């Protein structure tokens, strides 16, 4: 399960049950996703929640999404419209969901079995691009599919 960490700029380590180092921590098993800028060095978006429970991040800005919006507004059918204002942890989570499907498909094709959720979380949270250091607030790594899928 892929879950957006949420937008609000909140340190989730300060909330009950979300700090892995706390005795009341409850692990949902989900891959918790933060959001960073698309431009290098991928600084955390100010509004992205953060904390040690986050596993990975995706772009939270510059995302184009289909089905609604401000692009191609002269089109009579909503099926041809799209927007460039989709973002935050919702947009980042959609990107990570796509990466998850690619990794799972590759694994199935090569191993004829599926990765368990904990295995997928481990892969996505350990093989990737670190976030920029200026803003701080841990959001994990951006999975690097070129390194994950040989």
**Residue 77 pLDDT class (50, 70, 90 cuts):** low
DSSP 150: -
On whether residue 150 sits in a domain, the answer given is: no
On whether residue 9 sits in a domain, the answer given is: yes
Tell me the pLDDT of the chain averaged across its residues. Answer: 91
Residue with tokens 């951006």: 142
On whether residue 11 sits in a domain, the answer given is: yes
CA-nearest of 15, 40, 57 to 48 is 57
On whether residue 139 sits in a domain, the answer given is: yes
* Arithmetic mean of pLDDT, 4-9: 97
The Cα 98–Cα 77 span in angstroms is 26
On whether residue 10 sits in a domain, the answer given is: yes
DSSP 14: G
Q: Assign residue 109 the CATH number of its domain.
A: 3.40.50.200
Tell me: pLDDT of 85 over 80.
no
Per the DSSP assignment, residues forming a β-bridge with 131 are: none
pLDDT at position 67: 64
pLDDT at position 86: 80
**Count of domains observed in the chain:** 1
pLDDT one-digit tens code per residue, 101-150: 999 999 999 999 999 999 999 999 999 999 999 999 999 999 999 999 98
Structure tokens at 137: 């607030």
Indicate the angle between helix axes 117-126 and 88-111, nearest 10 degrees.
110
Domain that holds residue 127: 2-144
pLDDT one-digit tens code per residue, 42-52: 999 999 999 99
On whether residue 83 sits in a domain, the answer given is: yes
The Cα 38–Cα 72 span in angstroms is 23
Residue with tokens 């002269």: 74
The three-point CA angle 9-66-127 to 5° equals: 50
On whether residue 149 sits in a domain, the answer given is: no
């Amino acid at each position: 399960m892929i879950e957006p960490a949420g937008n609000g700029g909140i340190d989730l380590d300060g909330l009950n049950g979300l700090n892995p180092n706390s005795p009341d921590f409850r692990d949902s098993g989900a891959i918790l996703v933060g959001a960073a800028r698309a431009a290098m060095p991928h600084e955390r978006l100010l509004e992205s929640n953060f904390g040690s429970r986050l596993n990975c991040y995706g772009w939270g800005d510059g995302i184009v999404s289909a089905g609604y919006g401000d692009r191609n507004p002269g089109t009579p059918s909503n099926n041809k419209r799209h927007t460039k204002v989709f973002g935050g942890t919702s947009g980042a989570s959609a990107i990570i969901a796509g990466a998850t499907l690619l990794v799972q498909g590759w694994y199935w094709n090569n191993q004829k079995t599926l990765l368990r959720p904990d295995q997928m979380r481990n892969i996505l949270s350990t093989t990737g691009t670190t976030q920029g250091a200026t803003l701080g607030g841990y959001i994990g790594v951006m999975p690097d599919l070129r390194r994950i899928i040989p």
